Amino acid sequence: MAKQKIGIFDSGIGGTSIWREIHELLPFEDTIYLADSINAPYGVRSKQEIIELSRKNTIKLLELGAKIIVVACNTATTNAIDELRKEFDVPFIGIEPAIKPAALNSKTKTIGILATKGTLSSSLFTKTSELYTQGLNVVEVEGNGLVELIEDGKINSEEMDSLLDRLLLPFKKNPIDYLVLGCSHYPYLIPKLKEKFSPDLSIIDSGEAVARQTKSILEKKNLLNIDFSQKGTCFFYTNYNPSVLNKIINPEKNEFQVEQLDF
């Protein structure tokens, strides 16, 4: 089992931000990344639709030899991971907005959360927020349209700049000192976000914490690959146009291959 792969899925290319952290921490592990881009974004779908899509992705990852599954999608985690854990006998790692560190470290007692509608309206997000944000002013913004532009490869477009300027207004009107990114696509916007805010603003995503948790669970389950003789192989699959995913994971050289796959 330890020789099998770490399976990762997202509603598109965004979860590659999580994959990068896992690959950096566990370079000798084989990984499979599944981009369900044809159904992106999950954030506008019903809870039942999200569960069914997550179930479909899980089945495909298990067919491809996954020993653990990372749900690299905030919306899928908050809406579907409990159901997945009930149905499948494999460890699952979820991802949710890093509210706790922002709440504990905020000096202004005002934090911002940029997330999808599906995440912000979920019961898991509500519970986490209520647990850590007592006495804080929490400014929540739905990032409507951001995932679609990222999936279309328009991160550095005028269209993205215009949309961000409009979406970020509530944060500009409040003295937030922490901005929590509640979607795995959004770390790809960090350079742009830094341009639009004061250097004093701290921007937090969950990637590093998810990677550490993945390693911890693999160790506890005796699933960690301890063969350090060669680097792990990384497999990337998408059910949509592979060019954007290829560009995201190969910004400088063609180190990794992307395959189009129906699932």
Active-site residues, by number, are 73, 183
Token output for 40: 């992106």
Long-range CB contact pairs, 119-126, < 8 A, 24+: 119/43, 119/74, 119/75, 119/78, 119/182, 119/183, 120/182, 122/47, 122/75, 122/78, 122/79, 123/78, 124/77, 124/78, 124/79, 124/96, 125/78, 125/96, 125/97, 125/182
- For residue 214, with 0-12 CB atoms within 10 Å meaning exposed, 13-18 middle and 19 or more buried, which class applies? buried
- Tokens 């020789």 belong to residue: 3
**Phi-psi label, residue 66: left if phi above 0, alpha if psi -120 to 50, beta otherwise:** beta
Query: Measuring CA to CA, how many Å separate 202 from each of 52, 99, 180?
Result: 35, 12, 8
C-alpha radius of gyration, the chain, whole number: 18
